[in-house]
Amino acid sequence: MNGNDYKNLLSQAIITTIEDLAFIQLIESEAVRGAGDAAGAGAGEDYLQDMLSVYLPVKSRYGVIIMSASKAILKETARNIFALDPDAPVSEDMVNDTIAELLNTVSGQFMRAITPKDEFYELGLPVIGSFEMNEIGKEAVDCAFETENGDKLFISYAFL
């Protein structure tokens, strides 16, 4: 499998997850930065990052998946997931739960797609924080998306 294959599978996992769970349509963006670059991203927009470890069969290959999303998209997603009114306030805990659940779901779909059917994969626990890709790994697949409102979401799969 090459980098384009990984990118296509990762893109499909995030699009399917956001559309199925939150009923939000994502548009692929031409942004060139990855999720690990988004800590101060977006010209003043407020972003949240989440990362989890992924292990391919018998821990023979290890990587991380990092998601960076504007808080606006996370709040919209939380309102849809928790069936809240459009103007209802969304707590910090709900936003944190939302990014963790999104990353966990996307990671599971992605790992199922890249793992041979007769083998197993393992997901670590999501960790919310601030992550730099250059500290994590050099080989990465980056995907960038935005909503019709211009809210942005980035996801990266880094091979370690």
Q: Where are the domains of the chain?
A: 3-159
Burial of 116 (0-12, 13-18, 19+ CB in 10 A): exposed
Burial of 118 (0-12, 13-18, 19+ CB in 10 A): exposed
User: What are the tokens at 158?
Assistant: 């880094």
CATH number of 3-159: 3.40.1550.10
pLDDT for 101-149, tens place per residue?
Answer: 999 999 999 999 988 888 888 999 999 987 765 656 567 888 999 999 8
pLDDT for 41-90, tens place per residue?
Answer: 443 458 888 999 998 765 567 889 999 999 999 999 999 999 999 899 99
Residue type, 100: A
pLDDT value at residue 10:
95
- Among 67, 69, 53, 160, CA closest to 111: 53
CA distance 41 to 93: 22
pLDDT for 5-45, tens place per residue?
Answer: 999 999 999 999 999 988 999 999 876 555 556 444 443 45
